C-alpha cells in the first residue's frame, strides 16, 4: 500500500513542467522575487504567529526555515531575542539580514536547502517554516529535521492547495496546459500522522502574495510561465482583465516536541 509520504511525493512530481516549456524559458521560473517577501513595518497577527508565540519564552530563539524576508521570525521578536534564517536564495538572506538590522533584532543566517544544511543550524525554542513544504518532495526528512531542531514547537504555514494553483487559468491560456490539484494541506496532515506526530491544524484565509502594480505582476507571471520578454505585453493584457484574487484558504499546522 502506498504511504502518505509517497503519495505526497508523487503528487508533487505531477507539477513538473514539460521539457519543451522549460526549454523556452529565458529565466528560471522557480526563483522567487525577493520584493514579494519584504516585511511590513507592522506585521499583522495570524494564527501561525499566535501558535509560535504561545510556545516561545521571553528572550527565546526562533529558527525560520525558508525564511524569505523573515516575516515569520520578526513577528515573534519580541519575545524572541534572536532569529536564525535559513534560505537557499542569497538574495533572501540579504533581505532577512537587512530587516533584522532595521528592527534591531539579533540575527544570523544559514544559506542552503533544508535539511541538507540542518547541521549548520542551531536548535531553537520554536522552528517555523512558512510556505515551504510544497517545494519538498522528500517530505519526511524535512519534517524530521524541523522537529529535531525545536525545543518547544514546530509551526508550519501553507495554503490548503499548491501555491501555483491560482495560475491554472494562465497555463491554460498561454500553453493549453492543465495543472494538477494535489497535494493539499490534508495530505500533509496524513504524512505527519503517519510519522507518529499529533499535529494541530487551524484553518483561516489570507491574501495571495503578489505584486500590486500591473507591470511587476505581469513580469512575475511571464517568468513563471516560461514566456520570453517579447510576450510581456500579452501577459500584461491577460493580467489586466483577470478578476482580483480572492483570499485563499490557509492552514497553520503545529506540534510540540
For each of the chain's 257 residues, which pLDDT tens digit applies? Answer: 689 999 999 999 999 999 999 998 999 988 877 776 778 888 999 999 999 999 999 999 999 999 999 999 999 999 999 999 999 999 999 999 999 999 999 999 999 999 999 999 999 999 999 999 999 999 999 999 999 999 999 999 999 999 999 999 999 999 999 999 999 999 999 999 999 999 999 999 988 776 678 999 999 999 999 999 999 999 999 999 998 888 899 999 999 99
Rg (C-alpha) for the chain, rounded Å, is 18
Q: Which domain holds residue 107?
A: 4-19+29-160+187-211+246-256
Phi, psi of 191 (to 5 degrees): -65, -45
Residue 131 belongs to domain with CATH number:
3.40.50.150
> Considering the domain boundaries, does residue 151 fall inside one?
yes
At residue 213, the 3 state secondary structure works out as coil
Phi, psi of 201 (to 5 degrees): -120, 135
Which of 132, 161, 177, 171 has its CA nearest to residue 246?
161
53 contacts 30 by C-beta, under 8 angstroms: no
- Sequence-distant (≥ 6) Cβ neighbours of residue 188 within 8 angstroms: 8, 133, 139, 156, 158, 253
- Sequence-distant (≥ 6) Cβ neighbours of residue 28 within 8 angstroms: 223
Number of structural domains in the chain = 1
> Considering the domain boundaries, does residue 241 fall inside one?
no
Task: Name the DSSP letter for residue 2.
Answer: -
Q: What is the pTM of this model?
A: 0.94
> Considering the domain boundaries, does residue 178 fall inside one?
no
> Considering the domain boundaries, does residue 179 fall inside one?
no
> Considering the domain boundaries, does residue 167 fall inside one?
no
> Considering the domain boundaries, does residue 171 fall inside one?
no
> Considering the domain boundaries, does residue 216 fall inside one?
no
> Considering the domain boundaries, does residue 14 fall inside one?
yes
Measured in whole angstroms, how far is the alpha carbon of residue 256 from the centre of its chain? 21
Amino acid at each position: 500500500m502506498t504511504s502518505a509520504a509517497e503519495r505526497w511525493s508523487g503528487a508533487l512530481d505531477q507539477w513538473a513542467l514539460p521539457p519543451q516549456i522549460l526549454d523556452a524559458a529565458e529565466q528560471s521560473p522557480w526563483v522567487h522575487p525577493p520584493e514579494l517577501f519584504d516585511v511590513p513595518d507592522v506585521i499583522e497577527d495570524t494564527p501561525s504567529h499566535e501558535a509560535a508565540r504561545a510556545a516561545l519564552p521571553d528572550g527565546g530563539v526562533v529558527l525560520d526555515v525558508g525564511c524569505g524576508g523573515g516575516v515569520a521570525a520578526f513577528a515573534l521578536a519580541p519575545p524572541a531575542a534572536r532569529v536564525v534564517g535559513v534560505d537557499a536564495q542569497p538574495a533572501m538572506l540579504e533581505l532577512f539580514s537587512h530587516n533584522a538590522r532595521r528592527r534591531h533584532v539579533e540575527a544570523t543566517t544559514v544559506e542552503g536547502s533544508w535539511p541538507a544544511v540542518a547541521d549548520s543550524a542551531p536548535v531553537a525554542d520554536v522552528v517555523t517554516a512558512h510556505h515551504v513544504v510544497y517545494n519538498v518532495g522528500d517530505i519526511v526528512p524535512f519534517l524530521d529535521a524541523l522537529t529535531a531542531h525545536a525545543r518547544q514547537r514546530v509551526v508550519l504555514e501553507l495554503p490548503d492547495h499548491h501555491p501555483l494553483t491560482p495560475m491554472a487559468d494562465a497555463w491554460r491560456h498561454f500553453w493549453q496546459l492543465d495543472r494538477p490539484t494535489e497535494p493539499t494541506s490534508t495530505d500533509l496532515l496524513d504524512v505527519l500522522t503517519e510519522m507518529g506526530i499529533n499535529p494541530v491544524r487551524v484553518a483561516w484565509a489570507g491574501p495571495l502574495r503578489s505584486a500590486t502594480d500591473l507591470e511587476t505582476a505581469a513580469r512575475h507571471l511571464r517568468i513563471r510561465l516560461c514566456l520570453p520578454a517579447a510576450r510581456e505585453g500579452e501577459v500584461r493584457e491577460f493580467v489586466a482583465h483577470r478578476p482580483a484574487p480572492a483570499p485563499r484558504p490557509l492552514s497553520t499546522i503545529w506540534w510540540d516536541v
